[in-house]
Structure 1
């Protein structure tokens, strides 16, 4: 399994009996991923900020050469401060289990995005190239070569990509470990010199970026799938297959995938190429619309600051802008490429996602759930479990509630249901989500955590209670169980307008219905801290 640092989509997995509960003084909350290098955990700083903490596997930790390289690479990685990288927060190179902590990025990897949504459009791909190229400039400027740039090591946030795991593959590339048959890097994204065991340079990462672009734009690696040995042979001896990618990207990908390192573009040349590409129009900005709508729904839109609210980062010229300016006044891109365009304008948001500011009481009050009028004639409900769907019986007239034999204790009085049934399929089940502080909210539609004021159907929180989205309906169960029928009946007969943490202790279930009444979330509060993280477990159902 490749190393991954996914965000909250899908939700983090709970800790196992074998997982530690604390590393380096940081409390571990959940697993974010696992792979050949180790296990990545969601942890928190003493002040409650989320971080991604990677604990190295025991076989690496036992190798003295690895430890030496790991310490050296971590020291270099600490000097990397790019806006498109996940900032190193802390480390423990001398501990029994070496570890490295970086900023937590609440977003899926490019691998997950392509797997779920397919190839991305040309403009999106070009903007990714510009952001990743700037990240590589920051990494290479610190004297580090990534060595394992691949879709799983690029996370997608609403304001652009974040490159992760820089320098770790270099630390692992020791003769003792390589001699055991463990290959460092990913064959489908290796440069020829890396596959042959020759010296790697920044151009090695540029080759990997070209392979990444081909995958993101075409859906498959440019040297095919299959066994690692076959992919490595093709990387060294064959031309890439570019038939699946749009023609507007052929020159760029072929340039990056040149067999000789000296024939590949630099990061500055890549950024200038993106500026000049007609699909970008000289404005490579990560604003609303840079991602396709389904991906944006999953990642979360970019939110403009409210009047008087400070922006997430200062709007100062970035390394990308400086690089583009330098390239535009120096040599033009290779023959066949477009002429350089004007430099990039303002900064894109910072690499580490800052917790969004806690919304003011006025803004929060505007988003509080408003009661919708009760519908005359409650929906007739009887629960029938069939696979992942919930079936609810509908009567031809006013309908009836659940039968006495099948209804949930929270359903209330009931009449005999009719015989017709329709399914209420589950969108996702048992997804555990953690909001680090009041600057984040739960996106109930996507099943993930996003910055405050970005989701359309959400469950926000303040210090003492949950705050459902405007015009959502809510109900709190009187018992330990809550079914879809019980929720629907409770919303119509005993709706609530407040969800205090004290009333939801002991994982007392409650439910929230979306403003359009087509989706329902059954929620349990697992953990709550007034000024710190809040964890919930959610089951979501489609009602339409």
Structure 2
């Protein structure tokens, strides 16, 4: 059965497409339509039990003989325009193959994908519950911080796991996040693993001139999802996050959404941890406390002002200030007498705890200073001056100090070759990447000289020229250069014994934080 989703058409209830009978429309997406569907059952009815094995790529899910009615699926059908795009078709197939091979409990299980009647399609196992978009719909002013943090943390862990398998989502929205509960989810209802299921891989076209989106797009997408969960909208400018939060949260959010990818967090988990800390730093329930500031005493000397005379006729009304120092709502009557001197006033009830509060503040300051002093003494040794600028230029690829680990848990050290300085890192799979400072004349020739078959095959990507060894080279290599001013002085050389340049390209380069 043919149709054109780009013109608002969709599959009718009861129609069969790619071996699935359409039950109902679930949602419209930018590239097509998502349905609840049931595999066409050719076997004898029996008990309702889900199939345990996934079908081969491109085929529909089939129930084993005697298993009864096959379980329903979530079927997404891509519109004709995107299905006809060869670049999108390749991205769609590769993403869903990677998702199908991923066993992370929070990533939707792909039971089939393919092409039928000129339309790409993918079927995933359904999730009992509702998606995060429905949660936002029922809470238009946003959900509480604890719920949002639990959801974002689980989604961030799933995205980071996907990135390790060279799988990037690129188009994360709340409708891609399914929550495993029929009730309104609270923190106690969301315990990993499997508290949420993330779907929608391969449904957002990658940027122009790129075969694969960079993982930092998922960091920004997770930031937008967090804003929507907290405010009911993705507009940061028009809505403040509900509750009292510190300015640190806005700094965390600004970094996650920074237009410059190199400024964003290196991983989704890193963003989730920073956001959680900032949100809970000053988060309180209810209104912030207020201070009542009555008018100055007309005598200018220490005088007792009875409660009944605090707002005598003809005297200015007191101003009410919130914790930010802006006029707020009236705070009601003041308990106890107010003492005033020269225009300043301090309620007697507050004088009793000002001294111990001051002492406590001094103690805290001393403790914090001691911790900072001890921490500075125990701080890890920095990179040598000759290579520290390399670590600064690639903060998501190289650790801040030699004692820490880099991208994909790589151990790193300062190196030098024929007078060219660099930092070399080796990950647990024995893949080595070295960032060399090749600004001096002839430096690049020195670091590429040991590479067999250099310059190999040229590669075009968004941030500059690159080249990979040909298939005939057993111990493959990949050389990456840059066009952005901050990275122009550097060359990244990646090697992997017993692996081809193409394997390095697919397994490491496509998701490495190079930009």
* TM-score with structure 2 setting the length: 0.40
Larger radius of gyration: 2
Higher relative contact order (CA 8 A, sep 6+): 1
